[in-house]
Amino acid sequence: MFLFENDFRASTKTIRGVRYITVSFYSGDKDIFQKVGGLIKSDFSTTKIAEITKESLVDDGIAIA
């Protein structure tokens, strides 16, 4: 079950004669589908790769032939 903006869900469970009620309320600005879509989109975005120079290789201890 998915909760959308201003939705709530109540569930009950009885344990040893005591009835427990749990209420979940969601008031976020995005629903679950928008949130997951944003996470997927950010995984496929490109980043600028730093330029590799002779100095950076030497600083990292990489031998240059």
Closest to 24 (Cα-Cα) out of 43, 48, 4, 40: 4
Q: What is the mean pLDDT of the chain?
A: 78
Which one, of 61, 19, 21, lies nearest residue 9 by Cα? 21
27 confidence band (pLDDT: 50, 70, 90): confident
Q: What is the pTM of this model?
A: 0.35
* Across 27-42, average pLDDT: 80
At residue 38, φ and ψ (nearest 5 deg) are -65, -40
C-beta of residue 12 within 8 angstroms of C-beta of residue 34 = no
Domain ranges of the chain: 7-59
Label residue 64 by pLDDT band (50, 70, 90): low
Q: Is the pLDDT of residue 51 over 70?
A: yes
* 30, 31, 32, 35: CA torsion to nearest 10: -20
pLDDT at 52 exceeding the cut of 70: yes
